[in-house]
Amino acid sequence: MEVINPATGEREETVEEDTESDVEAALERATAAYEKWCDRPIREREKLLADAGDVLRENKRDYAATMTREMGKPISQGIAEVEKCAWACDHYAQHGSTYLENDSHPSPAGSTVETAYESLGPILAVMPWNFPFWQVFRFAAPNLTAGNVGLLKHASNVPGCAQAIEAVFEEAGYPANVFQSLLIPSDLVDDVIEDERVKAATVTGSGPAGRAVASTAGDQLKKTVLELGGSDPFVVLDDADLTDAAETAAWARNQNGGQSCIAAKRFLVQTGVYDDFLDQFVDEIESLTVGDPMDEQTDIGPQARTDLMEDLHEQVDASIEAGARALIGGEPMDRDGAYYPPTILVDVPEDCPADSEETFGPVAAVYEIDDEAAMVEKANDTEFGLGASIWTNDRERGRRLAREIDAGCVYVNQLVKSDPRVPFGGIKNSGYGRELAREGMLEFVNRKTVWVE
């Protein structure tokens, strides 16, 4: 695996991939580790998770620097990501045992009926590069605490992150092999899923990756959770606080270089406030600093890989050829590294790439729409259904429209985000299943009915 620094285009290091025999040995170790780990009292598992949170905080700058070097995330955002991982550890360390308490059910006199929640075994997590720590910890924190063991197949451009995460659990005192990173190419994933020792799989990533894993797991009758792409609408109604909406919109589109499934991508603005919002939106985006991701003052670093930047530019080019206009940006930056500038497209025609595809980078498509009904129709006019954001000073209006938008999560007067306290996931081509909160913890357990007469 070649680690190419996207800010410079230079090779940082080469990491040797695991072989098929390495994978076989890892599966054997995971199976053996699970036999003891699943019987460990949950209070002990919670304590170890709290210790993992401490390790994350103690080393947050080092971990952030690894992210920055491998995938270009501005280091200040990398530090925030590590802190969020520690928060997830704190959350499940505090609430894990409560989430796993047996549920009682109505039953005849003289009997008791409960649902018990029992772990499954080794779980494979196929994870992406864009939030290389957070995506893993939102899987690992609940699932290890539930008594499962984890096998991580991370993206090939962030092997250092994968190794660092495994080391976090080791340093926290977890038993050996409760969490292992498999440095394998994608063509070995099917073999891992098909192995009878692996009991389930979760994927965060692209639609093709999710379909491939789900297909293989389905053939083996194994549970999957998929968190895939998104083309989230950001709906600005005519009674919105435009200053707040524009400031949040700029960040919702450009955080992490726009490389986020839940980033706001399509901005639907009601006619009466369209011009004012657009002016403020442009100003807010132009105030963001594009630069060296190791500089803590940088807001937007490079795209994660040159080929990904080129794909994004092809989408922008095709959209402009179809009739869209670029108010700002629209061309790769003339500097070393995979830098693409924040871009705003207006007059976006239907079915062009910026309208119908997921743009995974700092490109905003802005639409002027007359009324609520048309805004809801446009918000739902996508194959995706991950998140949506609605902006209005009438909270009841926001609640009403939230129920009309097809998405796994809708935020009113807030950007779409994941939070350990609430379930997270999508519908349609954005996947299925939920992560985080109690719902996420119960995805990979056996919900066993126990009837005692």
The catalytic residues are: 227, 261
Residues 344/367, Cβ–Cβ less than 8 Å: no
CA atoms within a 13 Å half-sphere pointing along the CA-CB vector of 276: 14
What would the two tokens of residue 121 be?
A: 């075994």
| CA-based nearest residue to 123, from 100, 152, 94, 95 | 152
Per DSSP, the chain holds a count of helices (H) and strands (E) of 15, 20
Q: Three-state SS across 22-39?
A: HHHHHHHHHHHHHHHHCC
Q: Which residue type, as a one-letter code, is found at position 263? A: A
448 CB-contact burial (10 Å; exposed 0-12 / middle 13-18 / buried 19+): exposed
Assigned token pair, 262? 């839940």
Please name the residue that has the structure tokens 């709290």. 50
Assess contact for 378 and 233: CB atoms under 8 A: yes
Q: Are 404 and 418 in contact (CB under 8 A)?
A: no
Place of tokens 């649902």: 115
Q: Please state, as a whole number, how many other Cβ atoms lie within 10 Å of the Cβ of residue 59.
A: 16
d(CA 227, CA 219): 20
Helix (H) or strand (E) holding 78: helix 75-99
Q: What is the DSSP string of 238-268?
A: TTS-HHHHHHHHHHHHHGGGG--TTSEEEEE
259-281: b (≥16 Cβ within 10 Å) or e: bbbbbbbbbbbbeebbeebbebb
Helix axes 159-172, 42-58, angle to 10 degrees: 130
Instruction: Indicate the helix (H) or strand (E) that contains 212.
Output: helix 207-219
- Tokens 């550890």 — which residue? 89
Gap between the Cα atoms of 116 and 450, Å rounded: 7
Asked if 107 and 451 count as a contact pair (C-beta separation under 8 A), the reply is yes
